Chain A
Amino acid sequence: MASRRLLSSTASTLSSTPKLVFQAATTGPDPLIRSVVTRSMSSATPHQEIPLQNNKQESIKEDLETKNKEEEEEEEDDDDAQYVDENGNFVNKATGEVGGPRGPEPTRYGDWEQKGRCSDF
């Protein structure tokens, strides 16, 4: 197996972007405090692609739809306070941005994400 430091940056190698972000003031909780979940190594059950059952798909779809509605009303604990102003523009209270994306700050982990899809880095 690869040695421990096979591909890690040497001291003189410049680390790339996410490291800087972790030191930045983000609008959410400090990412350094986040708990890293370690999953116990499974007994090497190989990955299998299990197609979704129809009723399960339905329930996920419903959840996504509900989520979309709830997003506007609910305050997630790590999301910014957001509201809609009198012109119908979405305002992010913490950043002062008008008409911007809803939900967590797109650049909070260094790249530019839109609901999970990365569009720039």
Chain B
Amino acid sequence: MTTCIPAGSGNLHYSVAPCRGQGYRKTSWVSGVAFNRCIQKELLWSCGVSKFLQTQRCNYSKSPFSENWKSLRTVTSSCLREGSTKYFDFAVIGSGVAGLRYALEVAKHGSVAVITKAEPHESNTNYAQGGVSAVLCPSDSVESHVHDTIVAGAYLCDEETVRIVCTEGPDRIRELIAMGASFDHGEDGNLHLAREGGHSHRRIVHAADMTGREIERALLEAVVYDPNICVFEHHFAIDLLTCQDGSDTVCLGVDTMNTETQEVIRFISKVTLLASGGVGHIYPSTTNPPVATGDGMAIAHRAQAVISNMEFVQFHPTALADEGLPVKPSKSRENAFLITEAVRGDGGILYNLSMERFMPLYDDRAELAPRDVVARSIDDQLKKRNEKYVLLDISHKPRKKILSHFPNIAAECLQHGLDITCQPIPVVPAAHYMCGGVRAGLQGETNVRGLYVAGEVACTGLHGANRLASNSLLEALVFARRAVQPSIDHMKSSKHDLGTSNWWSRPVVPFSLGSEAMDKILLMTRKVRRELQSIMWEYVGIVRSTTRLQFAEQKIGELEAKWEEYLFQLGWEPTMVGLEACEMRNLFCCAKLVVSSALARHESRGLHYTIDFPNLEESKRLPTVIFPGSSVKGSWSSRQLHKQPL
């Protein structure tokens, strides 16, 4: 029979079995199809392999790290390679807080490739500008942080995970400080801790309102100067390289495309950490930067990893709606401008486009209702009235107060012809954070051996059905750290075989199609992306229903088929890759995961609200789990580009 490299212990806390005592729910598409098997290969456990490890240090020219992020040196690697294959001990996909934190730790034990699809600082981390939550005040307690997290998560959190994260958080913050991250202090010299909504104690560590940016800066600086870490920017992850070992799927690396040189680069790694962040761009309005297209969730799903809780998408109710501005921005905003709750807190009123105040119809607290209620109310109004935005009016307040408290809003609106001191602000909900993702054990392990996850791409059980403010950076830090030891153990028991890189066919850059066909494909892909986002917003928004979700499922399937056919008719082949096409397939994959998950939850809990099951159901207080599907039939988005090893 066939076996792959037995890659060491790779202990999992669970298999396809009840997870951590909480039970689990299978969705109806559990695969009954046996996975393809690898051909038996004689594997060379040559002790010469260790020599390869030693030569995997990368040469690069150090350049001073500058404030404006531009001076990161181009990495030229003298790492062992065959053609366009590179061998590393650890491959990290994503350069946000989770990826970089992990890289810095494992780099003490082996060679690390950090693979990032744009510039290293382009990540959701960089836009997380509130703070990190941790118990750092003597009068605070882990118990309190645990409680707040579980309450916010609508009791869907995994309690053990929550306890671990809240317990280990403070040490992770201290380490960040030791690495050079600079957080605000009080006059007494202690860290200044703020108190965000949902927290019953002051526990938010922050850096002059730019916490994510500051953490990213500190970590990037350390990464740049670490001789064992090579950063590959503008390398887009295409698919994980996997094979079967008995009933286990094993991850042996990742195919990428250098989007600057249009070259496919194959990374063979003993351990892979997926830290690729969020998926905001399945929706038309999102706070996420353009890189957040759910690549990690999609490539993990294609690699047979288990996905969980994708129905829990966090929206912010009031992002500035460009459609409502008198002078539209000349190009579409890359990430949404969120209007603070303080506007409502200070007396701002919400109106629909007929100038009817609608919040009292939904909740006695009107505009002061909890954020989730406001988001649902706005969504309901928009869908019922088939409109694009609602209005938030603060103009009845004194002009001086408005300009004093909200100068950012005033200035931004002013630039587009709107005076908020006498006109209402157009607002629409924006997708912000994905609570679900690749299912992770307590050490960031997945059901794919050698594959670990951390950060927003992971579903660790911390957030449950709704994320508590400032817990996302914390989760990333804690899990990135926890994945380190199992990764090292796994790495030590793995060996590279030079032949491995030939096990899978290589993705192909479609030069042969010609520029005319490529232009058409690009145009169509952009159009299809907008259509997908529109379907998601219309039918898989904040207020859901079974009918709308089923409709979305159908429409998305049709759209995907139509798009793929268009591509294939122009000569596109299944192993071809391009940035926009690969992002599109990942967006389709994630959109389908969200819809399926939403259909599977027959209750409303936290961020998932459906009018067909509007109440909490205790018996349904379980995570939604999606197992890998059959790869026999499926769209282009659902299959790894290479065949399984023959």
Give chain A's interface residues, CB within 8 Å of chain B.
1-10, 12-22, 24, 31, 34-39, 41-42, 44-47, 49-52, 56-57, 60-61, 63-64, 67-68, 70-71, 76, 91, 95-101, 103-121
- Kindly state the separation between the CA atoms of A115 and B424 in the bound complex, as whole angstroms: 17
Taking a contact as CB atoms under 8 Å apart, the answer to whether A51 and B340 are in contact is no
Known: A37-B349, A64-B407. A116 touches B339 (CB 8 A): yes
- Kindly state the separation between the CA atoms of A104 and B401 in the bound complex, as whole angstroms: 12
- Kindly state the separation between the CA atoms of A115 and B340 in the bound complex, as whole angstroms: 9
Taking a contact as CB atoms under 8 Å apart, the answer to whether A21 and B129 are in contact is no
Least CB distance, B520 to chain A, in whole angstroms = 35
Residue of B nearest to A66 (CB): B403
Known: A20-B200, A52-B419. A116 touches B131 (CB 8 A): no
Taking a contact as CB atoms under 8 Å apart, the answer to whether B371 and A121 are in contact is yes
Contacts A6-B380, A36-B366, A119-B129 aside, 4 further interface pairs with beta carbons under 8 A come to A3-B361, A97-B187, A112-B196, A112-B204
B405 adjacent to chain A (CB < 8 Å) = yes
Taking a contact as CB atoms under 8 Å apart, the answer to whether A7 and B609 are in contact is yes
Which 6 interchain pairs have the tightest Cβ spacing?
A120-B130, A110-B197, A17-B197, A116-B406, A113-B340, A112-B130
- Listed by A's residue number, 7 A-B pairs whose Cβ atoms lie within 8 Å are A16-B197, A16-B198, A17-B370, A18-B371, A44-B355, A67-B403, A100-B208
Q: Which of A12, A20, A47, A50 has the most CB of B within 10 A?
A: A47
Taking a contact as CB atoms under 8 Å apart, the answer to whether A115 and B326 are in contact is no
Q: Which of B342, B371, B393 has the most CB of A within 10 A?
A: B342
- Kindly state the separation between the CA atoms of A61 and B410 in the bound complex, as whole angstroms: 9
- Kindly state the separation between the CA atoms of A87 and B380 in the bound complex, as whole angstroms: 52
Residues of B within 8 A of A109 (CB): 197, 340-342, 344-345
Least CB distance, A25 to chain B, in whole angstroms = 9
- Kindly state the separation between the CA atoms of A105 and B202 in the bound complex, as whole angstroms: 13
- Kindly state the separation between the CA atoms of A42 and B377 in the bound complex, as whole angstroms: 20
Taking a contact as CB atoms under 8 Å apart, the answer to whether B341 and A113 are in contact is yes
Give chain B's interface residues, CB within 8 Å of chain A.
127-131, 151-152, 154-155, 184-188, 192, 194-200, 204, 206, 208-209, 316, 324-327, 337-347, 349, 351, 353-358, 361-364, 366-373, 376-377, 380, 384, 391, 393, 396-397, 399-400, 403-412, 414, 417-419, 421, 423-424, 432, 466, 468-470, 543, 604, 606, 609, 614-616
Least CB distance, B112 to chain A, in whole angstroms = 30
Least CB distance, B325 to chain A, in whole angstroms = 7
Residues of B within 8 A of A13 (CB): 154, 604, 615-616
Residues of B within 8 A of A3 (CB): 361
- Kindly state the separation between the CA atoms of A114 and B384 in the bound complex, as whole angstroms: 33
Least CB distance, A115 to chain B, in whole angstroms = 4
Taking a contact as CB atoms under 8 Å apart, the answer to whether B204 and A46 are in contact is no
Residues of A within 8 A of B432 (CB): 121
- Kindly state the separation between the CA atoms of A7 and B63 in the bound complex, as whole angstroms: 56
Residues of B within 8 A of A107 (CB): 194-197, 204
Taking a contact as CB atoms under 8 Å apart, the answer to whether A97 and B326 are in contact is no
Taking a contact as CB atoms under 8 Å apart, the answer to whether A121 and B344 are in contact is no
Known: A42-B355, A95-B186, A117-B340. A56 touches B373 (CB 8 A): no
- Kindly state the separation between the CA atoms of A12 and B621 in the bound complex, as whole angstroms: 13
Taking a contact as CB atoms under 8 Å apart, the answer to whether B196 and A97 are in contact is no
Taking a contact as CB atoms under 8 Å apart, the answer to whether A67 and B353 are in contact is no
Taking a contact as CB atoms under 8 Å apart, the answer to whether A112 and B198 are in contact is no
Least CB distance, B118 to chain A, in whole angstroms = 21
Contact of A49 among B127, B325, B615 (CB under 8 A): B325
Taking a contact as CB atoms under 8 Å apart, the answer to whether A17 and B198 are in contact is yes
- Kindly state the separation between the CA atoms of A35 and B349 in the bound complex, as whole angstroms: 12
Residues of A within 8 A of B468 (CB): 17
Known: A14-B152, A51-B327, A107-B194. A114 touches B347 (CB 8 A): no
Residue of A nearest to B344 (CB): A109
Least CB distance, A16 to chain B, in whole angstroms = 4
Residues of B within 8 A of A10 (CB): 614-616
Taking a contact as CB atoms under 8 Å apart, the answer to whether A118 and B347 are in contact is no
- Kindly state the separation between the CA atoms of A97 and B209 in the bound complex, as whole angstroms: 13
Least CB distance, A116 to chain B, in whole angstroms = 3
- Kindly state the separation between the CA atoms of A76 and B194 in the bound complex, as whole angstroms: 21
Known: A97-B185, A111-B469. A47 touches B152 (CB 8 A): no
Residues of B within 8 A of A18 (CB): 197, 341, 345, 368-371
Least CB distance, A56 to chain B, in whole angstroms = 6
Taking a contact as CB atoms under 8 Å apart, the answer to whether B354 and A119 are in contact is no
Contact of A1 among B127, B361, B397 (CB under 8 A): B361
Least CB distance, B398 to chain A, in whole angstroms = 11
- Kindly state the separation between the CA atoms of A17 and B525 in the bound complex, as whole angstroms: 39
Taking a contact as CB atoms under 8 Å apart, the answer to whether A119 and B209 are in contact is yes
Q: Which of A2, A34, A115 has the most CB of B within 10 A?
A: A115
Taking a contact as CB atoms under 8 Å apart, the answer to whether A41 and B356 are in contact is yes
- Kindly state the separation between the CA atoms of A5 and B122 in the bound complex, as whole angstroms: 42
- Kindly state the separation between the CA atoms of A17 and B375 in the bound complex, as whole angstroms: 13
Residues of B within 8 A of A22 (CB): 368
Contact of A120 among B196, B393, B403, B543 (CB under 8 A): B196
Q: Which of A9, A51, A103, A116 has the most CB of B within 10 A?
A: A116
Taking a contact as CB atoms under 8 Å apart, the answer to whether A56 and B419 are in contact is yes
Known: A45-B355, A116-B339, A119-B338. A99 touches B184 (CB 8 A): yes
Least CB distance, A46 to chain B, in whole angstroms = 6
- Kindly state the separation between the CA atoms of A21 and B192 in the bound complex, as whole angstroms: 18
- Kindly state the separation between the CA atoms of A69 and B218 in the bound complex, as whole angstroms: 32
Contact of B187 among A9, A19, A64, A98 (CB under 8 A): A98
Taking a contact as CB atoms under 8 Å apart, the answer to whether B396 and A116 are in contact is no
Taking a contact as CB atoms under 8 Å apart, the answer to whether B342 and A113 are in contact is yes
Taking a contact as CB atoms under 8 Å apart, the answer to whether A108 and B345 are in contact is yes
- Kindly state the separation between the CA atoms of A44 and B361 in the bound complex, as whole angstroms: 17
Residues of A within 8 A of B354 (CB): 44, 46-47
Least CB distance, B278 to chain A, in whole angstroms = 14
Residues of B within 8 A of A36 (CB): 347, 366-368
Known: A56-B419, A117-B340. A9 touches B370 (CB 8 A): yes
Taking a contact as CB atoms under 8 Å apart, the answer to whether A98 and B342 are in contact is no
Taking a contact as CB atoms under 8 Å apart, the answer to whether B339 and A117 are in contact is yes
Known: A2-B362, A52-B418. A7 touches B349 (CB 8 A): no
Taking a contact as CB atoms under 8 Å apart, the answer to whether B356 and A7 are in contact is no
Taking a contact as CB atoms under 8 Å apart, the answer to whether B338 and A99 are in contact is no
- Kindly state the separation between the CA atoms of A106 and B371 in the bound complex, as whole angstroms: 17
Residue of B nearest to A24 (CB): B195
Residues of B within 8 A of A38 (CB): 349, 357
Least CB distance, B162 to chain A, in whole angstroms = 15
- Kindly state the separation between the CA atoms of A34 and B343 in the bound complex, as whole angstroms: 13
Taking a contact as CB atoms under 8 Å apart, the answer to whether B344 and A7 are in contact is no
Taking a contact as CB atoms under 8 Å apart, the answer to whether A8 and B342 are in contact is no
Taking a contact as CB atoms under 8 Å apart, the answer to whether B198 and A110 are in contact is yes
Taking a contact as CB atoms under 8 Å apart, the answer to whether A117 and B409 are in contact is yes
Least CB distance, A5 to chain B, in whole angstroms = 8
Known: A50-B423, A67-B400, A107-B196. A112 touches B469 (CB 8 A): yes
Taking a contact as CB atoms under 8 Å apart, the answer to whether A21 and B197 are in contact is yes
- Kindly state the separation between the CA atoms of A34 and B348 in the bound complex, as whole angstroms: 12
